[in-house]
Structure 1
Amino acid sequence: MTGEAAAVIDAHVHVVSPDTRRYPLDGGTRDGTDYWSDGGCSAAEVLGTQTANDVRRTVLVQGVGAYGYDCRYLLDTVARYPRRTAAVIAVDMSDPAAAARCLRDHARVPSVTGVRLFAVSGGPQAPDPTWLTDHTSHAVWDVAAEAGLTVVLTAFTRQLPLLRPAIEARPGLRVALDHCAFPDPRARAAGRTAVRDLSDLPGVYLKVTTHLLAGAQAAGEDPADVVDDLAAAFGERRLAWGSDHPQTRTPDYPGMLALARHAIRRRDARARAEILGGTAQRLWFARDIRSPESGA
């Protein structure tokens, strides 16, 4: 990928159906605001926004706040738009054995290229889930590695040291940190220390999202300083931009793209292209589909 106009890929988008009879919301965790309550989060509307802004491909991430671990709408959407979308499903880690079985089944679907492991339910004050340190959860990590999936890790910075052993034990596994693990924007670079501490693990990637960039800007930090800090540790080929649309509504979608380009303005053209699309292409649209049973 040699120029940022080649392909912009949004690595973090949610869809929620207005059809609550077919896709009930009662399985959701209600983490965060009910961003879907205005009915404007359907696949058609969300992907229409992407098209209108010349975003070529979209990584659809299971909206755990809306649906919990019921991935039917996500899977139906990627089946309808197979050329332009990829699915990051989520599995319920409260029962790692069941989660591993569920993931093994879903991994047979070519459009499923990632799995979201959700460690932030209840917010930063809630106790850490036991699966962070429970070895029974390793079955899920193993299935993801065998199937060639990218693990999308939704965790807080304080939890990253607990997760390092699982990542370190699987050097071929790709792990993308959602929202760069929610560092405290008021702490600036110091708040990202736990993230940078994982940069020696070559399979760890970062989602540089609107949530991260807008939070930094609101705290008085130039978003370009955030990107420069993370790129110095990980390199641009391990950074992927994502909007968090439509859960994040401010700025609007064109504003999110503008904020991303503002944040990467100091990088050269090749680096900008990696952050805006190249990294996401490799993580979610170039899956080496292997059998979860054989690992081959």
Structure 2
Amino acid sequence: MDIIDTHCHVFSGDLERYPRAPLGGTQSGWASTRPVTAEGMVRAMDEAGISRSVLVQATTAYGYDNSYVLDSRAARPDRFIAVGTVDPLRPDAADHLETVIAELAGVRLFTSGSTVPTQGEWFAAPESFPFWEKAAALGVTVCLQMRLGPATAQLHALLDRFPTVRVLLDHMGYPDIAASPTAAGEEVAKLAVHPGLHLKLTHRNLERLADAGTEAAAFLDPVLAAFGAERIAWGSNLPAAEQSMPELVALAQDVLAEVPEPDRRELFAGTARRLYPSLGLG
């Protein structure tokens, strides 16, 4: 089966050429304790049978400086495409997006994470509207790192205003599967009313689903029914995930074992190729 990783991070050992400048001012612990270079990522991909990977800017290491993911993609265009972090609130955000998208396959907005513990709602502020309008016009895939909860209302409002924009929700918005697979599934399924919204299924969700055992279906079934596999893409999250790449692929395959094979082909590669046309048709 063709496998594409839509969410992995790389780090250079050359701190002078690629200095660390994390958003929030604090670097994620995993970025310093278990970094993976672009060369190391290729080896991990080969071990796991992954054909292509989307290098997502490690925002908690490099901030808005996308140099390393771009240079890594340029060195191995046969294996990588790059998604960089941008600031949608800068005064020239729309023009800036049009410039950077010439090299990037997509962009990422980082509104919450380990080093930005408070969920920001600025991604839906009026100042961001020129960015979103341009993203819709250009057909750019925008990865959105956020946590569902109080900011979900802003997400709905944003997607109502820009129904054609293509958003890929990192880690499915961190639904609380551990507390209740049923409630989490209902929460995520409600987002499917927005046709441009896609979900990124990573180890942060899959580990909780594995823990849930037979109850995992209470989450997966309504989400798959609402979105369809063609709007969901798998990502490893290596090296934020502690497991090896083969272990992360095995985790996904085990959790999704009961999903029909045509749907699994979408989850592991088909959706990724539509979100990022530069990956090719396979």
Work out whether the TM-score is over 0.5.
yes
Query: Aligned residues: percent identity?
Result: 33
Choose 97-106 or 137-146, whichever is displaced more: 97-106
Offset at residue 85 of structure 1 (A)? 1.6
Q: Are 1:177 and 2:169 matched, yes or no? A: yes
Q: TM-score, normalised by structure 1?
A: 0.85
Report SS of the residue matched to 2:143.
strand
Offset at residue 191 of structure 1 (A)? 2.6
Match of 1:103 in 2: 97
One of 137, 140, 148 as aligned partner of 1:149: 140
Q: Are 1:253 and 2:245 matched, yes or no? A: yes
One of 41, 58, 69 as aligned partner of 2:64: 69
Tell me, in whole angstroms, the C-alpha distance in 2 between the residues paired with 1:198 and 1:218: 24
Summarize the alignment of residues 106-121 of structure 1 with structure 2, pairs less than 5 Å apart: 106-109=100-103, 112-121=104-113
The question of whether the paired residues in 2 share the 8 Å contact of 1:224 and 1:262 is answered with no
- In terms of fraction of residues, the more helix-rich structure is 2
Tell me, in whole angstroms, the C-alpha distance in 2 between the residues paired with 1:66 and 1:145: 28
The question of whether the paired residues in 2 share the 8 Å contact of 1:9 and 1:58 is answered with yes
Summarize the alignment of residues 101-250 of structure 1 with structure 2, pairs less than 5 Å apart: 101-109=95-103, 112-121=104-113, 126=118, 128-158=119-149, 159-185=151-177, 186-218=179-211, 222-249=215-242
Offset at residue 124 of structure 1 (A)? 8.1
> Cα 1:72–1:123, aligned 2, differ >3 Å: closer, same or farther?
closer
Count of residue pairs brought into register by the alignment? 278
Q: Letter of the aligned partner of 2:239 in structure 1?
A: P
Q: Letter of the aligned partner of 1:18 in structure 2?
A: G
Write the deviation string for residues 217-274 of structure 1: whole angstroms up to 9, x where unpaired.
Answer: 346665455332310111111111110011111x322111111111221122111100
Q: Letter of the aligned partner of 1:259 in structure 2?
A: L
Match of 1:91 in 2: 86
Q: Which ranges of structure 2 fall in alignment gaps of 5 or more residues? A: none
> Cα 1:287–1:36, aligned 2, differ >3 Å: closer, same or farther?
closer
Report SS of the residue matched to 1:36.
helix
Match of 1:292 in 2: none
Q: Are 1:78 and 2:73 matched, yes or no? A: yes
Summarize the alignment of residues 10-49 of structure 1 with structure 2, pairs less than 5 Å apart: 10-29=5-24, 33-38=28-33, 40-49=35-44
Q: Letter of the aligned partner of 2:238 in structure 1?
A: H
Report SS of the residue matched to 2:32.
coil
Report SS of the residue matched to 1:87.
strand
Offset at residue 28 of structure 1 (A)? 4.2
Tell me, in whole angstroms, the C-alpha distance in 1 between the residues paired with 2:279 and 2:97: 15
Q: Letter of the aligned partner of 1:285 in structure 2?
A: P
> Cα 1:98–1:187, aligned 2, differ >3 Å: closer, same or farther?
farther
Report SS of the residue matched to 1:171.
coil
Offset at residue 35 of structure 1 (A)? 1.5
Q: Which has the higher contact order (CA 8 A, sep 6+)?
A: 1
Tell me, in whole angstroms, the C-alpha distance in 2 between the residues paired with 1:182 and 1:149: 23
Report SS of the residue matched to 2:17.
coil
